[in-house]
Amino acid sequence: RVKRRQDYKPPEFLVDQVKLKFILDPSDTRVLTKLHIRFNTDAYGNCDRAHFHLDGDREVIELVPNSLKVDGRLLEEGEDYDLSKAHLIVKNIDGSGKGALVEFQVSLNPSKNTALMGLYLSKSNFFTQCEAEGFRRITFFPDRPDVMSIFEVTLVASKQDYPVLLSNGDCVESGSCSDENYHYAVYKDPFRKPCYLFALVAGKLVYLEDWFVTMSGKRVKLCIYVQQGNLPKATFAMDCLKQAMKWDEEQYGREYDLNTFNIVAVDDFSMGAMENKSLNIFNSKYVLANPETATDSDFEAIQAVVAHEYFHNWTGNRVTLRDWFQLSLKEGLTVFREQEFSADMTNRTVKRISDVMRLRTTQFPQDAGPMAHPVRPESYIEINNFYTVTIYEKGAEVIRMLRNLVGPEGFRKGCDLYFDRYDGMAVTCDDWLAAHQDANPHVDLTPFRLWYSQAGTPQLCASTEYDASQSTLHLHLEQYLPPTEEQPVKEPMLIPIKMGILDRDGIPVMVDVGDGSAVESKVLNMKESKQTFSFYHVPPGSRLSMLRGFSAPVRFAWKHDQPSDDLTFLMAKDKDEFNRWDAAQTVTLRYILDIVRRMPQGSLNPDSMASLEMSPSDDVFEAFRMTLLDEGLEHRFRSTMFVLPSELFIAQWMKPIRPDDIHLARLHLKRQLATRLSSSFWSVLQRLERELEGEYRLDAESRGKRALKNICLEYLCCSQDPTAVSLALKHFRKANNMTDALACLNILSIYGKEEGEMALAEFYRKWEHEYLVLDKWFRVQALVPSKDTLSRVQNLLEHKSFDIKNPNNVYALIGGYALQNPYAFHLADGSGYKFVADQIRKLDKINPQVAARIATSFTIWRELEPNLRSHVKEQLNLLFSRNNLSRDVSEVVGKLIE
Ligand code: ARG
Ligand code: ZN
């Protein structure tokens, strides 16, 4: 059951051409399949006869009797072919490489497909999702990415129920069938592709149309398909698509290669979106938006996802994967491209900060626990479990380091070579590195490769020694990579550390390592497990700014904690804005950990917090006040400075983890900041209220203002200022946009009393019929950090607007609770765990992929304090002991209890 990277073998048969004919019907769809195949003589030479293996999920697809033929000859089961649980084996096909035509028909029942893999229905329309292994739920086929074929697809369906018929490539023919109630369309995709990029859509949809002229002057038709009534909500996504197309031409020289590009929005979708060739299918939350229904962050997410899927046309489709172990080859790279695009479209520093927050909050814990795996995994049971933050986000960090290593021009050269050399091929991470190595012969990329093979987050520990007589500063660095299950011994990594020096007034000191160059910011390439770097001409009292821009995905710490005035100094003076934010994170993290460590377990509780006599030093408050009031800084950046380290991030620095204490200590700090800075929060808030008055505007400046205004309001409400709470209610009611409305709803449901209930009820009444907005309503309630949240979530499961078959609903309510609300999830009697385990069991029958994702909420369980740990253990054992678990869930739970 375990698949290993080492076991790769090229396919025995290649499929040059695929012809599919779908006769679409909700409960009995027929798929006629014609495959032009040929023995892979390149890999295996000639042979007399060989067996052709096709994958097919026999739980969902049924071979129509007497339909299987080879070169026109009808085959007999047992004699000429075998059917097993997951395969069709056609025996004794010519092995000389001259080719054969295999034909057959299968039948499917899309209406029963709740797993949303393969062909399924959403609101009575047909959709497909094939990545990673969904095509085998549509027909029998060698379902692996290194089998690349030309597809021709015919769709036949009722005119009335399915007026729109779409597949990959261009529509070359369409018309009415002999039965006038039916129509058909034929699509041809001229590019060879793996079957995971196949897609079809059929149904009642309307579309928004636009054009893009590519750099070589080709006119591309762009269409976004949505349900009736949603057209106005698609215009923003259309703008993003055009921006992305232009950016990819400018930055990478990549041009779109077909005459049409379609995006289709669907409400029932297990993930974000899918890059099917020329027919991207999107979770509707990443397409539909207007200011009344979508927040500023929703708009940004749409921009990122639209670009991400579009960029896949080159990184993923034109150059594709040899096997699924290479997943990060397309995902890490495409995330990186998308991050850079978003940075160019919005605010670079803020984008970087939010990416790093996400990495630290979600990827670091994964890398430190039983789910840890390298960016290029060595083995898996269910590939769907490997669409992880490690493959995606850490994968993107690896690309970022590579670009820094070879420089922007070297990187562009390497990418050009990669596209040139591997266009139309299915390749590996090694091929990617080879292209960069060949394009940049002066850099040795050998040590860099470890980033692909070693799991875990490197820990970097630093200390300094100053030699006043020589004005020399020695920086001692040590790296440590904790062992993981598969890799007990690890090699030291190549860690690029971007750093700078500030003198005691905050003026940059040129970094001089004695190599003749002196620069403001220097990248130290650390390669050994212990290494010392010396800097010359350093004035006394200078301070180091380390890991600027988060130049490597590592956990950095000083051996001896920096005094807080060093950190507040960096908060105010660092030339690297990212590090100003990071200094604020460190100062607050340290203070929170201080409280937690000093207070014995159980001594913190919500009532005792007010009398807790601990406080950050005055310079900390001052540094925050200065940031808040500094008109020279962008609003968005200022607001980000006030987002305290997440509870999940804090937990990584504590053993064993006491989630309640972390929450309470963090809240204590938040209240102290709120109280001490109250008048500054009020003055900024009032000023921004005035500036934002009038019509809603979506530009970056206004978004920044809203973010800062709302965070001021949040702090003020957190300090239990009744005037602030009534103001939040007032803002909630008069808001002309979802950003303000949702921010206030969130604040009120956490810090208000009756106000929270009132706002929730009003919000529901107003948005009862907006499916995407209701997701926000579910999530807000799941995120209330309270010991009563569990019962609220339980009640909401029964709500008439909640549908457990819909992944967005599940992620909002159950995911919000289990993955994003530690204080409410970790209940001393274990009832939170029991609830989530019950939901996993229920979900597993519906959609295993979603169930498995919810199960990752237990990732850190071994680090929890003993009482909690034993409760989780009980639930995990119960879960695992159950037979009939999906491969998805049993792999995750199996790893957790291993
Ligand atoms: N390739 C898609 C994207 O990142 C995601 C597909 C996710 N598939 C899955 N089985 N989880 O754009
Ligand atoms: Zn992707």
pLDDT in tens, 779-791: 999 999 999 999 9
Atom number, ligand 1, closest to the C-alpha of residue 331: 4
pLDDT tens column, 752-770: 999 999 999 999 999 999 9
Nearest CA to ligand 1 atom 1: 274
Q: What is the whole-number distance in angstroms between the Cα of residue 319 and the centre of ligand 1?
A: 16
Nearest CA to ligand 1 atom 2: 274
pLDDT tens column, 189-213: 999 999 999 999 999 999 999 999 9
- pLDDT confidence of residue 606: 84
Residues 6+ apart with CB under 8 A from 288: 226, 230, 233, 234, 237, 265, 294, 772
Do 317 and 424 touch, CB atoms closer than 8 A? no
Nearest to 298 by CA among 211, 248, 348, 240: 240
Q: What is the whole-number distance in angstroms between the Cα of residue 334 and the centre of ligand 2?
A: 6
Ligand having the closest approach to the CA of 282:
1
pLDDT band at 604 (very low <50, low <70, confident <90, very high): confident
DSSP state of 507: P
Whether 292 is catalytic is: no
What crossing angle do the helices spanning 659-676 and 678-692 adopt, rounded to 10°? 80
- pLDDT confidence of residue 62: 98
Cα gap 93→106, rounded to integer Å? 21
Cα gap 669→551, rounded to integer Å? 29
- pLDDT confidence of residue 351: 98
Average pLDDT over residues 506-520: 95
How would you class 45 by CB atoms within 10 Å of its CB: exposed for 0-12, middle for 13-18, buried for 19 or more? exposed
Atom number, ligand 1, closest to the C-alpha of residue 308: 12
Ligand having the closest approach to the CA of 196:
1
Cα gap 671→478, rounded to integer Å? 37
Nearest CA to ligand 1 atom 8: 131
Ligand having the closest approach to the CA of 272:
1
Residue 603 has pLDDT above 90, yes or no: no
Give ligand 1 pocket residues (Cβ under 6 A). Answer: 131-132, 271, 273-275, 308-309, 331, 384, 387
Atom number, ligand 1, closest to the C-alpha of residue 132: 10
Q: What is the whole-number distance in angstroms between the Cα of residue 143 and the centre of ligand 2?
A: 19
Best residue among 310, 338, 387 to mutate for probing ligand 1, ranked by most atoms within 8 Å of CB: 387
Residue 863 has pLDDT above 80, yes or no: yes
Token reading at 220: 């591309």
Ligand having the closest approach to the CA of 306:
1
Token reading at 547: 């890991």
Going edge to edge, which strands form the sheet with 87-94? 49-55, 87-94, 81-83
Q: What is the whole-number distance in angstroms between the Cα of residue 861 and the centre of ligand 1?
A: 27
Q: What is the whole-number distance in angstroms between the Cα of residue 388 and the centre of ligand 1?
A: 10
Average pLDDT over residues 380-386: 98
Triad 336, 8, 271: Cα angle to 5°: 40
pLDDT tens column, 461-501: 999 999 999 999 999 999 999 998 889 999 999 999 999 99
What are the angstrom distances between the C-alpha of 610 and each of 579, 669, 672? Answer: 32, 11, 10
Threshold 0.95, pTM exceeds: yes
pLDDT band at 611 (very low <50, low <70, confident <90, very high): confident
Q: What is the whole-number distance in angstroms between the Cα of residue 330 and the centre of ligand 2?
A: 7
β-bridge partners, 220: 212
Nearest CA to ligand 1 atom 12: 274
Residues 6+ apart with CB under 8 A from 614: 594, 595, 598, 668
Nearest to 56 by CA among 131, 136, 120: 136
Atom number, ligand 1, closest to the C-alpha of residue 316: 1
Atom number, ligand 1, closest to the C-alpha of residue 270: 11
What stretch of H or E contains 635? Answer: helix 635-641
Q: What number of residues does the chain have? A: 898
Residue 337 has pLDDT above 80, yes or no: yes
- List the alpha helices (DSSP H) in 719-767: 722-734, 738-751, 754-767
pLDDT band at 584 (very low <50, low <70, confident <90, very high): very high
Q: What is the whole-number distance in angstroms between the Cα of residue 131 and the centre of ligand 1?
A: 6
Share of the chain above pLDDT 90, in %: 97
How would you class 124 by CB atoms within 10 Å of its CB: exposed for 0-12, middle for 13-18, buried for 19 or more? exposed
Buried b / exposed e along 763-799 (16+ C-beta atoms within 10 A): beeebeeebbbbbbbbbbbbbbbeeebbebbeebbee
Among 131, 133, 300, 309, the active-site one is 309
**Tokens 């009038």 appear where?**
694
Residue 607 has pLDDT above 90, yes or no: no
pLDDT tens column, 804-846: 999 999 999 999 999 999 999 999 999 999 999 999 999 999 9
Atom number, ligand 1, closest to the C-alpha of residue 392: 4
Dihedrals φ, ψ of 36, to 5°?
Answer: -90, 110
What crossing angle do the helices spanning 722-734 and 754-767 adopt, rounded to 10°? 10
Do 780 and 821 touch, CB atoms closer than 8 A? no
pLDDT tens column, 543-562: 999 999 999 999 999 999 88
What stretch of H or E contains 350? Answer: helix 348-358
Cα gap 503→423, rounded to integer Å? 51
Name the percent of the chain in helix, strand, coil, to the closest 5. 45, 20, 35
- pLDDT confidence of residue 698: 95
Nearest to 564 by CA among 622, 611, 509, 610: 622
- pLDDT confidence of residue 654: 96
pLDDT tens column, 694-720: 999 999 999 999 999 999 999 999 998
Average pLDDT over residues 19-38: 98
Beta-carbon-side half-sphere exposure of residue 209 (alpha carbons within 13 Å): 6
